[in-house]
Every structure is written in C-alpha cells, then in structure tokens.
Amino acid sequence: MRHLLRLFLILLLAFVVDGQSVYSQESDPVTSTADSVATEPVTPPPASAFGLAGEDMPNDNGHKLRVKWQYPAEAVGDITGFEIWRATSPTGEFRMLGQAPNDYFEYLDIGNKETPAPDFMANNSDFFYKVVAIGKNGLRTESEPGGPFRTYGQWFHRGKTPVLVGVVLFGCFTFYFIRAAKKGKELYVRPLAGIEAVDEAIGRATEMGKPTLYILGIGTASEIATIASFAILGRVAKKIAEYQTQLIVPCYDAIVMSIAQDVVRSSYLQAGRPDQYSDDMVYFVTNAQFAYVAGVNGIMMRQRPATNFYLGYFAAESLILAETGNSIGAIQIAGTDQITQIPFFVVACDYTLIGEELYAASAYLGRDPLLLGSLKAEDWGKGIVMALIVVGVVATIFGWDGFRELIRVNL
Amino acid sequence: MHETIQDSATVTLLWTTLGALLTVATFSFLYRDNPIYKVAEHLVVGVGAGYFLVLLVYTTLKPKLFDALAEGHLWYIIPGVLGVLMWLRFSRKLSWISRYSIAFYIGTSGVSIPLYMYNNVNRQVSSTLDLGMGFGSLTEVWGILIVLGTLAGLVYFFFSKAHKGAFGGFAKFGILVLMIGFGASFGYTVMARISLFVQRIAELEDWGAMLIAYFFS
C-alpha cells in the first residue's frame, strides 16, 4: 500500500513537471512573437492628398471635369498611387472612377451622357471628389472631399473650327453652282467609262432576251452610296422600260426596297410604260449579309442575267457576287465608295466606278442641276484641298509649323 | 449521369453535323448550281430573314419604342408614328403618306456632313502634312512621293475638266497610284479570306474527329 502511494505521488509529480515544461514550450513562441511585434517599427498610413481643385473641360457637352490635387513631395515614395472617387454631394455615396500613378496629380473624369449609366455626369451639375492615397504598406488615406466643381456644356467646339469653315465653304460653293446650273449655265462633266457602257450593257441584255440584275448593295437608304445608286437605278430602269426587257432588283433592306420600288415605278411611268411595271421586280431577300449573297447567287445561276449592276454600299460580299456574275458571262458594271471593296470589283467586273465616280455618275446621267451643282462644288473643294496641301508642304519644308496647326482639328 | 453526358454529346454531334453538311452544301456551288445548294440557300435566306425580324423586335421596337414609351418618354411617339406610316404603302390611296417617313429617314443623313468633312478632308490633309518631307533622308523623299500621289489621286477625281494633256498625264499617274493601293488591299483581304477558308476546313476536320470519337470510342 505504501509502495502504491509512493508510486502515485511520483506519477503526480512527474505529471506536474511535464505540464510545466509543455506550458513553457507553448508559451515561448508567443512570447517571442509578441517581442518581435513590439520591436518592429510601426508604419504610419500614407499622407493625405490635399488642395483638390476641379475645372470644367472646354469644348465639350458638359460631361468632363479635370480634377487636380497636391501631395507632399517627400511622401510620394511611400505610395503606389491614387484612387479617384466622385459623388454628387460631400456626404453622398462616392463611386470610384479610376486610378493614377503616384507621380501624377490630376485625373480627367469623362462621364457618361446617358442617364441610366452608373458613371452618368449631368451637364450644369455639381460634383464632389475624394482622392485616396494608397500606401506601399497597403494602408489607405482618404482626402477631404473637394468641391463643388461644376460642369458646363459649350455650344461651340472651338477645336472643330476648321470643320465648320470647310462645311460653310463647301455649302457656299454648292449653292452657287446649283443656282448657276438652274440658270442654264453649261457645267461640263467628263465622260465616265462605266456609265458610257450602261446603254450598251442594257442593249446586250435586250438582244439576248435575258434580264438585267441591279444590286443596290447592303447599305441603308441613308447611305450616300445608296442614294447615288437610286439615281442611277432610275436611269437604268427607264432605259429597260424603253427596251421592254426584264429588270430584277433583289434588296437587302426593306426601306431601300420601298424607295427602289418608287424609283422604278416612276421610271416606267416616264418611259410611257407604266403597265410593264410590277412590284415583283423589286423585292426583299433578307437582312442577313451572307444569306443575301446566297440568295442573289441563286438568282444569277437560275435566271442568268446578261447584265449585272452592283452600285451602292458593299462589304465582304462584293467579290462573291462579282465572281458569280463573271462565271455566268454577264457584263458587269460596279461602283462603290468602300475603298476596301473596289479592288474586288476591279478584278471581277468589266467597268468599275471608283469612289466618288459613283456620285458623279448619278449627276452625269441625270443632268439634274442639283446634282451637277454639287459635283462642281466638290471639284472646287478638291481644288482648295490641293492648294492647302501644296502650301502646307512648302510651309513644312521651310519649318513653318503654324500653318499645319491652322487646319488641324483638335478634338 | 452517363446517359445525360451521352445525350449532350449526341446533341452537339447533331448540330455540328448539320453545320458541316451545310458547309459542304454551300461549297458544292463551286461545282455548279445543284439541289443541295438550293436547300442550303433557301434555309439560310429563310432563317436569316426570320432571325432578323425577331432581332429587330427585341433590339429596336421593344427597348427603343415600347419600353421608352412605358417609361414616359412620350416624344418617342414621333418615330413610332413615322414607322406606322410606312405601313400605308399597302394602301393604293394612302401610299403617298409613307414618303414622309422615307424623306425624314433619308434627310437625317445630312447630320453626317460634318463627320464626313472631318474624316475625309480635315484628317486626310493633316495626316498628309504630318509626313516628314524634305530631301535629307529616304523617308523624307518618300513623304514627298506620297504627297505627289495624293495630289495626282485628287486630280483623277476632277470631273469638271477633261483628262487631256499634262492634266490627263498627272491623272494617269493618280490612277496608277490608286491601283497600287488597290493591289495591296486585294492581297491583304485575300489572305484574310484564305484564313477563313482554312478555319472552315479545320472545323470540318474536327467534325470528322468527333464522328470517329462518337462511334468508335
């Protein structure tokens, strides 16, 4: 019994000693961590930006503000950059707009013009800004809200003055030459090979007893190329009505189709053949680009037109159409103001109206004073552009850069 | 679970097969017009027209007319009425009224005149003058050549004067410059088209691999 009691006491003592050693082992790291924290230098949060100033940007519609701030030069190295926040009142909810590097002390806030957009900025409204300095240690310091800064929209963009001068000058030329044309002044337009060939092409279709296919492109009715094409369509349709041959005009756009129907109908009327006109000549195919191409290619392969016209706005479908037309042996006259598509028409068509020739063609065919006057005004405009380039080149060579700045548009 | 995966693979295979068959049907046009091409053509024209009708309703009519009116923007009624007037084309007596809508639609293209002036005149002139020009280096001589080419191109597009004599010669130089530009553009675009063709062939190849994987693995 005594042995047992002694053994129990020894075990109890051992347990207590062991427990003390475990406790001391566990507490050591805690003590050391606490010591290390206590000895590390505490990094303060970065200095705050101050002196916030906002200025309305000129030549805009009241949706831009430039925000500037100051920052202590000696503290710039402690931060990685700034965040810029905006609100409509100093106590309102601020929204982060963007960031600026640590050596940049201004930010151009370009707001959205649309009301539902989250970064909407109203014209003639006050805004408040905060700049948050972001320390290299991850700490951030907000500045005091700055403001109110007001946005002002301007009616006139001074940087666009050269555009205004160009438009006014061109407008004056146009009015002058239209008036001159209406008074009966003879305005010369040089012959265009593609347009000279129109009669020949329609005559060929008549002789072969095959239809003529006229494609207005895939532009909308407000595209300038499509408008020019309507004028040419009128002339082509009139000639076709006179020759009593068949015309096919598959359309890509429903409104273009409506206008084309009116144009063709009035051409048939002018030719004294209103009975020959049918709405089925001008019809809608589809509004999907390559589906339209597939449809028109099918028409070409099945109806075998002798003459194809591609006049208007064209995109990637130009080569596919022109190649198919070429494969069926049709005489092809094309024209577009899309520079990237002209090469395809040049290689696959018999005649191509390049760019502005398409607009000139409508004036040449119609001899309408409005169109002739506009064409003459364009020529004068080109003359002025050429003169500007020549003077500009001479000025550049002699180091007078002021001339270039005179005609430069600053957006 | 296994059945669901199998179903999903079957559906993917069916759609891919449809796409591949339509591709082959379209390519068959290169041989000649044939019934298979006609099926593909009518399918794509029909689907295209139907798809755009639905797209028009959900991207234009609903958000830009019905929703706007519901939100109280009553002036949206004006384009709405102009749109409705277009339907009068179906009436023999009142079809002339639809021309007001068309006139409004085409008339708004005048809004783009300043943009045209900026893009086609101001920017072009500024960019031409920004070229380094002179006789000090080859780059500067190229600058002068580019300016000469630009002037010659403009002369080509002069319609009020016959292209005869020195004027005609300069215009010929202009069309030569244009053709060099068109040639470069042609080659560049053809390369892009070839890459599209290669992509389509690669998709056919993937379809073949998919068929083998589905039936033999």
Boundaries of every domain in chain A: 50-150, 187-367
What is the token pair recorded at A36?
């290390």
- Condensed to tens digits (0 to 9), the pLDDT of residues B86-113 reads 999 888 899 889 989 989 988 887 888 8
In which band, very low, low, confident or very high, does the pLDDT at A163 lie, cut at 50, 70 and 90?
very high
Task: Read off the pLDDT of each residue in B6-31 and give the average, rounded to a whole number.
Answer: 88
What is chain B's mean pLDDT, rounded? 88
Q: Which domain holds residue B173?
A: 131-217
**Is B42 within the bounds of a domain?**
no
pLDDT at A17: 46
Beta bridge partners of A61: A153
Q: DSSP string of A248-314?
A: EEEESSHHHHHHHHHHHHHHHHHTT-GGG--GGGEEE--SSHHHHHHHHHHHHHHH--SEEEEEEE-
Section A310-316 average pLDDT: 94
Residue B191 has pLDDT above 80, yes or no: yes
Residue A164 with chain B: CB contacts under 8 Å: 114
Which chain B positions have a beta carbon within 8 Å of A355's beta carbon?
157
Nearest residue, CB atoms, A346 vs list B129, B154, B182:
B182
Q: Which residues of chain A make contact with B186, given a CB cutoff of 8 A?
A: 343-344, 347
In angstroms, the CA B46 to CA B41 distance is 8
Within a domain: residue B3?
no
Which residues lie below 8 Å from residue B124, measured CB to CB, with a gap of 6+?
Answer: A385, B150
Question: Residues 180..239 of A with a Cβ closer than 8 Å to B: which?
Answer: 187-190, 221-224, 227
- What is the pLDDT confidence band of residue A28, given thresholds at 50, 70 and 90? very low
Q: Which helix (H) or strand (E) holds A157?
A: none
Pairs of CB atoms within 8 A across A/B:
165
* Minimal Cβ distance to A397: which of B113, B130, B134: B134
Residue B12 lies in a domain: no
Kindly report the CATH number that applies to the domain delimited by A187-367: 3.40.50
- E strand or H helix at A88: none
Contacts of A363 in chain B (CB under 8 A): 159
More confident residue, B193 or A28: B193
Residue B66 is assigned to a structural domain of this protein: no
What does the pLDDT read at residue B136?
72
The answer to the question of residue B170 being in a domain is: yes
Report whether A325 contacts A344 (CB < 8 A).
no
Residue B154 lies in a domain: yes
Q: Is the pLDDT of residue A26 over 90?
A: no
Is residue A4 over pLDDT 90?
no
Q: Do the domains spanning A50-150 and A187-367 agree at the CATH topology level?
A: no
Do residues A327 and A305 touch, judged by C-beta distance below 8 A?
A: no
Search chain A and give the residue with CA nearest B87: A258
Three-class SS state of B4 = helix
- C-alpha to C-alpha distances, B92 to A275, B86, B118, nearest whole angstrom: 16, 13, 44
* Chain B residues within 8 A of A223 when measuring between CB atoms: 109
Looking at per-residue pLDDT, the higher value among A397 and B179 belongs to B179
Q: Which residue of A has its CA nearest to B160?
A: A189
Residue A10: which pLDDT band, with cuts at 50, 70 and 90? low
In chain B, residues with a C-beta closer than 8 Å to the C-beta of A262 are 99
Residues within 8 A of A (CB atoms), B 31-70 only: 32-33, 37-38, 40-41, 44-49, 51-52
Residues in A closer than 8 angstroms to B106, CB to CB, are: 221-222, 227, 259
Report residue A323 as tokens: 């190649």
Does the residue B29 lie in any domain? Answer: no
A:136-175 residues touching chain B, CB 8 A cutoff: 160, 162-164, 166-167, 170
Distance from the A331 Cα atom to the nearest Cα atom in chain B, whole angstroms: 20
- The interface pTM score, or ipTM, of the predicted complex is 0.85
Interface test with B, best of A189, A386, A390, A400 (most B CBs within 10 A): A386
Number of domains composing chain B: 1
Considering only CA atoms, which of A365, A367, A374 is closest in space to residue A235? A365
A382/B158 CB distance under 8 A: yes
List of chain B residues whose C-beta atoms are within 8 Å of the C-beta of residue A386: 151, 154-155
| Residue B196, in any domain of the structure | yes
Nearest to A396 among B121, B122, B129 (CB): B129
The predicted-structure confidence for B139-160, as pLDDT tens digits, reads as follows: 778 888 899 999 999 999 999 8
- Weakest-pLDDT range from A138-142, A194-198, A230-234, A388-392: A194-198
Class assignment of domain A50-150?
A: mainly beta
Pairing of strands A64-70, A50-56: antiparallel
